[in-house]
Structure 1
Amino acid sequence: MVPSLVARLGIEHPLIQAPMSGSTTPALVAAVSNAGALGSLGAGYLEPQAILDQAREIRAASGHPFAINLFVLPETFEVDMAAVDAARRALDALMEREGLDVRTVMPARWAPSFAEQFAALCEARPAVASFAFDLISPGQMRQLKQLGIVVVGTATTVAEARAWEELGADAVSLQSAEAGGHRGTFLHEPEEALIGLFALLPLTARAVKIPLIAAGGIMDGRGMLAAEVLGAAASQLGTAFLACPECGAAAAWKHDLAGSTEHDVATIRSFSGRAARGLRNTYVKAMAAIEAELPAYPVTNALTSPLRRAAAAAGRGDLLSEWCGQGAGLSRAMPAGELVAVLMDEYVQARRAFD
């Protein structure tokens, strides 16, 4: 472990709850931070006012440091309307087949403005700001540093970690192949950046000097210690917190995690138009034939939004984007604060085994 990162983050444990956009709630973030780890708000889908409102909720429930995470996106998108029309027809047909009384709609815009989200993040002034999908600009980096906010970039390769270091990031979160959710890859094709954590960590530790955060497949304290031995300053766990009652994941999604196996986890583009890791379910299989033809993120993500909401309401986990990492079957349903305590007890016990 690199104690300086834990001290700089103002936390007690080398543990970060991953910022799972669409699933993290202020209650989850506050519970994790209150337990001595770093809670993270996944704000990639939130409008600016929602970011400010949820940051206030977190502060009302916790006086401890927390993070806000954003997806770095352009302000405008090139959209192939013929592809949009074809995607809508396929999605509407699928919803009709599955008995969901909802259809796709054209959104007012495809995604929130990143510039406006970034301004809200700066106003909210969390202890930590983390980013995925791309680098922020040098000017944005300077602004965060002036505000005293610790900056964490997401990397899936050594080259991406170097890019964040050169930009001035304080730490980098290494998203390995085992990790769930959207891939943060930005310098490579996603298929080229599916690197196992136990290779990615030592390779990156040799290449950069900033602290590394291990993310991907870590579900218990033993995994945290293993990541530390290979060069991680802290571990970031997402799937491990999905089953917590404070997590906003749909009940059917949580149920499906417990019965999943390692080979059920796949790289999926059909829910959002961007590579992401999750369960290969009914929706994924039904859309496999046209997955490559769907519009890129965030267009498909916006188009599937009504389906995902309807599926959650109907208890149809098999039609949801059930994002999760490779170790989903090891998830434990318990309050988030209790889970942090269990993880840290396992971590301590694992260290003692080697003393």
Structure 2
Amino acid sequence: MDTSFASRLGIEHPLIQAPMSGSTPPALVAAVSNAGALGSLGAGYLEPAAILEQAAQIRALGDRPYAIGLFVLPDEFEADMAAVAKAREQLDALMAREGLDVRTSLPPRWAPRFSEQFAALCEARPAVAMFAFGVIAPAQLRELHRRGIYVIGTATTVAEACAWADAGADAVSMQGAEAGGHRGTFLHEAEDAMIGLFALLPLTVQAMAGYAREVPVIAAGGIMDGRGMLAAEALGAAASQLGTAFLGCPECSAAEAWKRDLPRAGEHQVTTIRGFSGRAARGLHNRFVEAMPQATGLPYPVLNALTAPLQRAAAEAGRGDLLSEWCGQAAGLVRPQPAAELVARLMHEYRLARRSLAH
């Protein structure tokens, strides 16, 4: 295994736990990092004070490198209030039909201010900063580098990878169509950027080879075991980023109903969903997806904020079928076990797969 990428970050294994916002509490991040991989705090939904608080908790649990992931968004959003009213009516009716004693409300803000989240990230000073939904400003990237923070940009096409490389990112994380959760697409329509990971990797590696500096390529999407990590490496990946594989860990804060549904998930049940957040995301086709229209006219993060009360109530009621059960294409391969054990198992599988191919 090429260990240059891992060595640069100060980790033992070229393995990244994806920054899944809402599901990566400090206990999970620290457990992964302490096991020699790169744990990642998904901070897309967190206010600045919470980012700093959770970063402090991660540091208290160990002194290993870790990452913080953010969504690149405007600080302010304008919403079509007529569409908001219609969506609230639909969501309230759904919750009433499903017996959930909660209704929508208008939040003070649709989402945290990215500029304030970014400032908190800089203050927390993780080893790595990861971004999705767009490219950060040149001044922001310079500030991260001034603080010694390694920058990874999420891309779903070669053009997006080049946009990050042109901006000065240290590495690009290529999100194949198999990946779970929100699509990181920002230069294309989401439907046009649903490219299989094993086609996307060699195309991106070829494009990155044209740069005067080295730009490592990280593989993300559908990788659930050491065999998948080896396959990604064979296609030029410097590391593998796994998200769904860690959802079954006891340290993960995903709802228990969601965790229970994953091992039973068929690959054909993973679909592209807009009805939860207004942005294309990959997860299980469940009761909510069937009941709510995919196009409410509301973008992210407006719809995401409106569905938040439903999600909390559904989690408390054990209703996985009403949750945004984000997951990758191979969710059925999830293996519930402590995060440190999973990291060790993944690396053991990787070594076994490599030895088997050598004979």
For residue 294 of structure 2, what is the aligned residue in structure 1?
A: 291
Residues 230-281 of structure 1, C-alpha deviation per residue, up to 9 Å, x if partnerless?
0100000000000000000000000000110000000000000000000000
- 1:228 paired with 2:233, answer yes
For residue 145 of structure 1, what is the aligned residue in structure 2?
A: 145
Q: Secondary structure at the match of 2:294?
A: helix
Which one of 318, 323, 335 corresponds to residue 320 of structure 1? Answer: 323
For residue 343 of structure 1, what is the aligned residue in structure 2?
A: 346
1:2 deviates by 4.2
CA distance in 2, matches of 1:3, 1:186: 31
Q: Secondary structure at the match of 2:188?
A: coil
Q: TM-score, normalised by structure 1?
A: 0.99
Map of 1:162-177 to 2, 5 A cutoff? 162-177=162-177
Map of 1:37-186 to 2, 5 A cutoff? 37-186=37-186
CA distance in 1, matches of 2:73, 2:3: 33
Which one of 340, 354, 357 corresponds to residue 354 of structure 1? Answer: 357
Tell me the matched-pair count: 353
Does the CA contact (< 8 Å) of 1:253 and 1:317 recur in 2? yes
For residue 334 of structure 1, what is the aligned residue in structure 2?
A: 337
Task: Compute the RMSD of aligned alpha carbons.
Answer: 0.7
1:50 deviates by 0.3
For residue 19 of structure 1, what is the aligned residue in structure 2?
A: 19
Which one of 229, 245, 262 corresponds to residue 240 of structure 1? Answer: 245
Q: Secondary structure at the match of 1:266?
A: strand
Dislocated runs of 4+, deviation >6 Å: none
Residues 273-298 of structure 1, C-alpha deviation per residue, up to 9 Å, x if partnerless?
000000000000101xx321240000
Matched to 2:281, the amino acid is A
Matched to 1:326, the amino acid is Q
Does the CA contact (< 8 Å) of 2:24 and 2:41 recur in 1? yes
Gap runs ≥5 in structure 2: 210-214
For residue 303 of structure 2, what is the aligned residue in structure 1?
A: 300
Does the CA contact (< 8 Å) of 1:51 and 1:121 recur in 2? yes
Matched to 2:271, the amino acid is A
For residue 270 of structure 1, what is the aligned residue in structure 2?
A: 275
Does the CA contact (< 8 Å) of 2:262 and 2:334 recur in 1? yes
CA distance in 1, matches of 2:242, 2:182: 14
For residue 212 of structure 2, what is the aligned residue in structure 1?
A: none
Does the CA contact (< 8 Å) of 1:216 and 1:237 recur in 2? yes
Q: Secondary structure at the match of 1:293?
A: coil
CA distance in 1, matches of 2:251, 2:302: 29
CA distance in 1, matches of 2:176, 2:42: 18
Map of 1:197-216 to 2, 5 A cutoff? 197-209=197-209, 210-216=215-221
CA distance in 2, matches of 1:219, 1:37: 15
CA distance in 2, matches of 1:314, 1:191: 33
Does the CA contact (< 8 Å) of 1:74 and 1:114 recur in 2? yes
Does the CA contact (< 8 Å) of 1:134 and 1:186 recur in 2? yes
Q: TM-score, normalised by structure 2?
A: 0.98
- 1:253 paired with 2:294, answer no
Does the CA contact (< 8 Å) of 1:133 and 1:186 recur in 2? yes
1:79 deviates by 1.0
Residues 75-126 of structure 1, C-alpha deviation per residue, up to 9 Å, x if partnerless?
1112111100000000000000000000000000000000000000000000
Does the CA contact (< 8 Å) of 1:155 and 1:184 recur in 2? yes
CA distance in 1, matches of 2:82, 2:150: 43
Q: Secondary structure at the match of 1:292?
A: coil
1:324 deviates by 0.2
For residue 218 of structure 1, what is the aligned residue in structure 2?
A: 223
Q: Give percent identity, aligned residues only.
A: 73
Matched to 1:86, the amino acid is K
1:28 deviates by 0.2
Residues 176-213 of structure 1, C-alpha deviation per residue, up to 9 Å, x if partnerless?
00000000000000000000011000000000141000
Matched to 1:344, the amino acid is M
For residue 279 of structure 1, what is the aligned residue in structure 2?
A: 284
Q: Secondary structure at the match of 1:291?
A: coil
Does the CA contact (< 8 Å) of 2:3 and 2:13 recur in 1? no
Q: Secondary structure at the match of 1:131?
A: strand
